[in-house]
Chains A and B, each alone.
Chain A
Amino acid sequence: NAGVTQTPKFQVLKTGQSMTLQCAQDMNHEYMSWYRQDPGMGLRLIHYSVGAGITDQGEVPNGYNVSRSTTEDFPLRLLSAAPSQTSVYFCASSYLDLAVTREGYTFGSGTRLTVV
């Protein structure tokens, strides 16, 4: 049982380049989400999904795209990287009814992205 797998762990991009951060979970979780964590800023929600084919914007969606073609995978695409997107990115997944399952979010190990 791998939990939530994020790749890559580290990435350096040049301004204007695009890339995809991968996230996969093997727990059959309906809910998946992407957060960015900047120093002193906490966890800010980028995009989330409540099931295959369903995605929605979070607090800071600009410059990012997502898709959810399967229950397991939820990739995050940076369209044209900017220095302001330098951050640590976490993927998280859970069951939909957190108050019933009581397991909270399972986070991936994170991707440290630097845009130069």
Chain B
Amino acid sequence: GENVEQHPSTLSVQEGDSAVIKCTYSDSASNYFPWYKQELGKRPQLIIDIRSNVGEKKDQRIAVTLNKTAKHFSLHITETQPEDSAVYFCAATLYAGKSTFGDGTTLTVKP
């Protein structure tokens, strides 16, 4: 099965700085890589995703990059704001809807 490693487990940045979270996956057949944001006490919600035939995708202040050869993908948040503080999960999807999640990164943005 698929295995996903996520780093770092915690990340603290100053407001306005950039934040980068990295994930690696094990199975080269994985073809869909979503990122979820979970605010304290709430459910995870999809914020951005990328398919295996795309190298980079951007949506306003967030972007995701994928390196299929190295089997890693990253989430980039620019101009961070206090409301970006949350737990972020990466995931890799191998087949039939089943996504494997990383262990999460707790991002704290200090005002």
* A positions within 8 Å CB-CB of B: 30-31, 33, 40-43, 45, 48, 50, 90, 94-99, 102-105, 107-110
B29-63 vs A, CB cutoff 8 Å, 1 = contact: the mask equals 00110101000001111100101100000000000
**Neighbouring A residues of B99 by C-beta, 8 Å:** 98, 105
Q: Is B89 an interface residue (CB 8 A)?
A: yes
- Given A42-B102, A42-B103, A109-B43, verify A99-B34 contact (CB < 8 Å): no
Cβ distance B1 to chain A, nearest Cβ, rounded Å: 9
Q: Is B108 an interface residue (CB 8 A)?
A: no
Partner pick for B46 among A45, A90, A105, A108, CB 8 A cutoff: A105
Partner pick for B45 among A42, A43, A107, CB 8 A cutoff: A107
**Neighbouring A residues of B97 by C-beta, 8 Å:** 30-31, 33, 48, 50, 94-98
* Contact status B49-A102, CB under 8 Å: yes
B93-108 vs A, CB cutoff 8 Å, 1 = contact: the mask equals 1001111111110000
Cβ distance A52 to chain B, nearest Cβ, rounded Å: 14
**Neighbouring B residues of A107 by C-beta, 8 Å:** 43-45
A95 to B36, CA, bound (A): 17
A97 to B96, CA, bound (A): 6
* Contact status A90-B104, CB under 8 Å: no
**Given A31-B96, A104-B49; 11 other pairs, CB 8 A cutoff:** A30-B97, A41-B103, A43-B44, A45-B100, A90-B43, A96-B96, A98-B93, A99-B51, A102-B49, A102-B51, A103-B46
* Contact status B32-A98, CB under 8 Å: yes
A105 to B102, CA, bound (A): 15
**Neighbouring B residues of A95 by C-beta, 8 Å:** 97
**Neighbouring B residues of A97 by C-beta, 8 Å:** 97
* Contact status A42-B46, CB under 8 Å: no
- Given A42-B103, A96-B96, A99-B31, verify A105-B44 contact (CB < 8 Å): yes
A96 to B95, CA, bound (A): 8
A96 to B99, CA, bound (A): 11
Cβ distance B21 to chain A, nearest Cβ, rounded Å: 13
* Contact status B43-A104, CB under 8 Å: no
